[in-house]
Every structure is written in C-alpha cells, then in structure tokens.
Amino acid sequence: KFQEIKGRFEDSELASEIENRLTMTRLLIQTNNRYVRDAFALFDYLEEPSVESKSHLERAHQQLIAAREAFATSPGFGYQLFGVDLLLKKSAEALESIDSTRSLLRDAPTRQEIEETVANQQARYRSVLEEHGDEAVLFGRFEAQIDGNDILIISGTETEIHHMRWDHPSIKTLDITKPLPRKEVTVIPKDIESRPLHPFVLEQPTEANDFTARIYFEDEPGGHGWVRCELYYVEKSPEELGLSIPWLR
C-alpha cells in the first residue's frame, strides 16, 4: 500500500526512510513467525520422528533461513539474532542426527516447570499493578476466543496477531487507546478472564526489538476459551520491577 502513495512525498529521503522501516517491520514479523514454526516443527520431529515430520522440519528450517537472510540484509538492520541462530543450529543438528539432538529434551523444562515459572510471573504482574497503580498506564484492551497458541505483537499503536497452532482466534476487542512508548517500559497484562495458561509477556519492548511487546495467549484445542485482559505499562524496566523475562536471562 505504501508504494501507492510513495510518489506523493515531496521529500524523497523521508519516503525512502519510511519505506525501509516498513520493510524492516514486515521482515521482523516474518522472521518471528518462521522462528515459531521452526521451533514447533523441531519438537514435533523429536517427539515423533517420521518421514512426514522430518519433511515438515526441513521446510520450516529452510523458510527460517530465508526469512533470517532477508531480515539481516534489509537497510538499517541492527538486531541481534542469537535465538534465531541457535534454533537454526539445533534444527540442522536434528536433521543430521536425531539421536544426538534428543538429548536436548532431557534437560529441557517440563510443561509443569514452565507453567510454574509463568505462574510466578503472573503473580508478580498483579503485585506490580497493586504497588504501582498510580504509575501504571492503561493503553489497551484485548478480548478474544482462543483455541491454540497465539501471540499479540504491539508496536506503538500497531498490532499484529501471530497465529501459531490450531484454530485462528475470534477477536472481539483489540483496542490500543494509547501508543506503546518508543522507550523501555514494562508491559503488564491484567487478567480479567482466561484459563491456564493465562496471558503472559513473551518479550518486553527494548531498543533491540524496536520497542515491541509480544504477549502470548493459549487455550487447549477445542476449548475456544475467552481471554479478556487489560494492557498496562509502567515506565520502569522489568529488572526494576522484578519482571525480568526468565527465558531471556
């Protein structure tokens, strides 16, 4: 759509800058999407190896390679892709030798351990909102029926839903009433209604991710459970609030 109006800009440098930023945002989203798909394909293959699951992993692996290359060579690129590179390495190792890669699963946290970690984060969400109620800024509301796994991506006032598995979400409300600031803040979802696993912040906004927040929603397949939450931010770092993302330490 930007191409349709690009010629209307009198300042060609500004037009090019906007185009580059839009391109980078699109490639960032694409890389994130491919990352999630590769991760699911890897664990599917490790859990139930077959010709079909291996072929699925090979496709997802190649798509992530292509997405990473396009993103890394885009104008103005300045991200660190350690997580993407690690997943690519482990996927390649699994495709070469599944037995050696399966050892990863032995040291991986169990579903129960993950749920306990997330529950601790969510309890801290409630505490932070109580402790910093005067500082917390309500900037959005989300209401949808979830059947599977989805990620809400927020940058400024722009939103994107990354659907990962099972049925697509049925969104009733996705309202960003104030822009997410272009500086480091801590995003906190206030759970109004949901079933476990309740909403949690997968990634807080930082300069490294272009001040983008990612919030994860989940409901068991066939559930179509309602997720209703308010979105707040506090102008303090996650470290200051005791909300460092455990899986990013």
Q: What is the DSSP string of the chain?
A: -HHHHGGG-S-HHHHHHHHHHHHHHHHHHHHHHHHHHHHHHHHHHHHS--HHHHHHHHHHHHHHHHHHHHHHTSTT-----HHHHHHHHHHHHHHH-HHHHHHHHHHSPPHHHHHHHHHHHHHHHHHHHHHTTTT-EEEEEEEEEEEEEEEEEEETTEEEEEEEEEEEEEEEEEEE-SPPPSS--EEEEEEEE--SSPPEEEE---GGGTS-EEEEEEE-TT--EEEEEEEEEESS-HHHHT---GGG-
Question: Does 156 have pLDDT greater than 60?
Answer: yes
Q: How wide is the angle at C-alpha 134 spanned by C-alphas 128 and 136, nearest 5°?
A: 55
> Percentage of residues in the chain with pLDDT exceeding 90?
46
Contact residues for 130 (Cβ-Cβ < 8 A; gap 6+): none
Q: Residue 183 in 3-state DSSP?
A: coil
pLDDT bin (cut points 50, 70, 90) of residue 63 is: very high
Please say whether the beta carbons of 38 and 63 come within 8 A: yes
Question: Does 207 have pLDDT greater than 60?
Answer: yes
Please say whether the beta carbons of 225 and 146 come within 8 A: yes
> Percentage of residues in the chain with pLDDT exceeding 70?
84
pLDDT bin (cut points 50, 70, 90) of residue 215 is: very high
Helix (H) / strand (E) element for 59: namely helix 51-72
pTM more than 0.75: no
State the Cα–Cα distance between residues 236 and 249, nearest whole angstrom. 18
Tell which wins on pLDDT, 14 or 73. 73
Please say whether the beta carbons of 198 and 117 come within 8 A: no
